[in-house]
Amino acid sequence: MFEELVSVSSDTSQMFQQAARQLVASGKLHQLFDLRLLEHRHKLGLSIDEQTPLDELPSPTRERLEEAYLAACREVGLLLLNSGQAREAWSYLRPAGEKSAVREWLEQSVPEEEHADELIELALYEAVDAERGFAWLLAHRGTCNAITEFDALAPRLSVSDQKACAAVLVRHMHAELLENLRGHLQRLDREVPSTDSIVTILAEYPDLLDEGAYHVDTSHLSTTVRFSRALDESKLLPLAIDLATYGSRLAKDLQYPDQPPFEDLYRTHLLLLRAASGEAIDPAIEYFREQAESVSTEYYGSSATEAYLILL
């Protein structure tokens, strides 16, 4: 079809539109993209059988062809998205800056098992909707896999996406721990408090942690608490404080150290989280000031300084 367009008649616009309709009808959307570029090259007086690189074209011809390229990306990407080919659609919509269209599509999507990996990859790994993608990852692949993936992926995510994923993880871990604590009380035939506060439950039933007992995977708990320091939303801080408080009551051999300034992981995170929620600010500032001055950034990075600056 494209070869026939090299020597087109005088009514080129009609011919290009007819060819475009045929390609859309037959589902050949990748070829539609090529056709649109040929069409715009013809409109600009460029040869359609000789592909001169963009950077060799004079301005403003180059800018007009770049605009045409983005318009073709948008057209083809939206057609692919409407046909359910989200991954392929994103390859066109990404350069066109159409993330919002894909996010809206994901909002209406249900990650059935056979398509879950594709949707998770698009939402989380392509950072189209990291929060939704991470929630799907937790639901479909479990806490262990989700934490491992988040740990590796976090440095590539924006700060806002890191916070969103950390929020999902904190809510998930808090719900799991709360359910397991209530289940333990039911097995002991004790009254189950109606509160959602783990701090309150532990204050009423401190013996739930006697003899090295624990109610969630302790490595998952420590990692979740570590990620919780990214949070600043007032509704989430009590959940993170609950988790850190629970961790601080575990047997010492179940409390895994982190790098300075968080060697005593749960105690130091409680300092930070409580201060972030407006409690005991001065002791937290003093501790992290001392840590910022003493912890080697060469070996341990800038965590101590960052925590101190955030508190200030």
Q: What percent of the chain has pLDDT over 90?
A: 66
End-to-end CA distance of the chain: 66
Q: Rounded to two decimals, what is the model's pTM?
A: 0.85
Measured at the CA of 284, the angle between CA 280 and CA 288, to 5 degrees, comes to 175
Write down the pLDDT at residue 291: 92
Q: How far is residue 262's CA from residue 238's CA, in Å, rounded to a whole number?
A: 19
Q: How far is residue 258's CA from residue 68's CA, in Å, rounded to a whole number?
A: 52
Query: 175 or 69, which is more confident?
Result: 175
Query: 48 or 37, which is more confident?
Result: 37
pLDDT-based confidence at residue 185 (cuts at 50, 70, 90): very high
pLDDT-based confidence at residue 56 (cuts at 50, 70, 90): low
Q: How far is residue 121's CA from residue 134's CA, in Å, rounded to a whole number?
A: 10
Contact call for residues 138 and 172 (beta carbons, < 8 A): yes
Q: What is the pLDDT of residues 1-30, one digit of tens each?
A: 544 544 444 577 788 888 889 999 988 999
The tokens describing 66, both together, are 């770049």
Q: 10 Å Cβ neighbour count for 271? A: 25
